[in-house]
Structures are given as structure tokens and as C-alpha cells.
């Protein structure tokens, strides 16, 4: 999959250098900032829904397969590199925090966990949590991939809405600030008045 991604970027590098730059930026944003960052970069650079959806989902699958396989091979002692073991143990520790909460809801709980926009709750964390819950690979990955698909779609429409309605949103935020200041005027005034 990584080879396919490199071939696609190399192709666009010769045919359409701007698109190669965008794909590389989206990959970096997605890898280090998560799916919301990747979707946001796509929208800012004018990619349509289909392009944004396919590319971000492709990146998610790639990261999921790579990290999940390294995690499982490390936990089962096939990979014995110290720093990889340390990372795998940290990933397992992070996922273990949510185990009890998700376990009682099973597949749907894992789906919601992956869908939720919290740090560590994406497909990688979700698949490791599914592994710790002893879900079959099919149940685990179906829940994780469906949660990921749903999250990408939601992020796309949220960012698209924000982009199209930024002026309205600015007015709403200003209105909220004015109401807050008016409502808390006495308290704010006391902060600035010297008390003897």
C-alpha cells in the first residue's frame, strides 16, 4: 500500500506537481495530526468530497494495517526491538484505559470509540482496543473501518460547513462574547477595580 501511495505521488509529481504537493501535505497532516487535519488540508486545497474521502480513507487503512500488524507481532514476541516493544506497550497501556467502558458495548462501543474525535480514539487505538477485547479480526476491523469512514464523512461536512459559513460563525461568536461580557459585567469590573 505504501508503494502504491509513493507511485501515485510520483505520478502526480511529473504530471501535476501541485497535486503531488497537496497529497504529500495531506499525508503528513493526517499522519501527525489525525484524520481531521488530513480532511481539513484537502478542503483548503480544493479537493472534492470523493477525492478527500478516498485519499484519507486510504491513508487510514495504510496506517491501521502497518501499526496493527507491528503491534500484534510485538505483543506475540516476533519483533524484539526494544524501542518497538516500548511503543507497543505504551499503545496497549493507552488502549487499556478504555477497555472496561467499551467492553460492555462490544462492536458498537468500538465503533463509537473510533468515531469520537478524542486523542487516541482513531483506528489505530480502536484496533488495539479490539485486540485487547479479544474480538475477531473481522469484527474488530469492520467496526474500526466503519467508524473511520463515518468520521471522515462527518469531518468533511463539518469543515465544508465552516468554510461556507465562516462570516456567520464569526458573528455568532462575537454575539456570544458580548452576551458573556454583559452577563458577567460586575464580576469583570471587580477584577479591574482596586479593592482596599
With residue 65 as reference, give the H or E element that holds it. Answer: helix 49-75
- Cell numbers standing for residue 156: 468533511
In the chain, where do the E strands start and end? Answer: none
- Cell numbers standing for residue 102: 467499551
**Residue 147 structural domain:** 2-164
Q: Is residue 175 part of a domain?
A: no
Q: Is residue 170 part of a domain?
A: no
Specify the pLDDT at position 83: 83
Give the orientation angle of helix 35-44 with respect to helix 49-75, to 10 degrees. 160
- Count of domains for the chain: 1
Q: Is residue 185 part of a domain?
A: no
Specify the pLDDT at position 133: 86
pLDDT tens for each residue of the chain, 196 residues long: 778 877 888 888 888 888 888 888 888 887 777 888 888 888 888 888 898 888 889 988 888 888 888 888 888 888 888 888 888 888 888 777 877 888 888 888 889 888 887 777 788 888 888 888 888 999 989 999 999 999 998 888 887 777 776 666 667 777 777 787 777 777 767 766 655 4
Specify the pLDDT at position 170: 65
Q: Is residue 57 part of a domain?
A: yes
Nearest CA-CA partner of 27 in 68, 67, 2: 2
- Cell numbers standing for residue 172: 455568532
Amino acid at each position: 500500500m505504501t508503494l502504491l501511495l509513493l507511485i501515485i505521488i510520483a505520478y502526480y509529481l511529473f504530471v501535476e506537481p501541485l497535486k503531488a504537493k497537496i497529497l504529500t501535505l495531506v499525508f503528513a497532516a493526517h499522519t501527525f495530526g489525525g484524520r481531521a487535519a488530513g480532511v481539513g488540508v484537502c478542503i483548503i486545497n480544493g479537493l472534492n468530497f470523493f477525492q478527500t474521502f478516498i485519499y484519507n480513507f486510504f491513508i487510514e487503512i495504510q496506517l491501521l494495517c502497518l501499526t496493527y500488524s507491528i503491534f500484534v507481532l510485538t505483543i506475540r514476541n516476533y519483533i524484539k526491538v526494544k524501542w518497538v516493544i516500548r511503543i507497543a506497550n505504551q499503545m496497549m497501556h493507552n488502549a487499556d484505559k478504555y477497555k472496561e467502558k467499551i467492553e460492555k458495548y462490544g462492536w458498537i462501543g468500538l465503533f463509537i470509540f473510533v468515531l469520537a474525535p478524542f486523542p487516541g480514539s482513531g483506528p489505530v487505538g480502536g484496533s488495539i482496543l479490539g485486540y485487547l477485547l479479544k474480538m475477531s479480526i473481522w469484527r474488530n476491523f469492520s467496526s474500526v473501518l466503519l467508524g473511520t469512514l463515518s468520521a471522515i464523512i462527518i469531518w468533511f461536512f463539518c469543515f465544508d460547513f465552516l468554510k461556507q459559513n465562516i462570516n456567520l460563525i464569526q458573528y455568532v461568536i462575537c454575539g456570544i462574547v458580548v452576551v458573556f461580557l454583559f452577563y458577567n459585567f460586575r464580576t469583570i469590573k471587580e477584577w479591574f477595580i482596586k479593592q482596599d
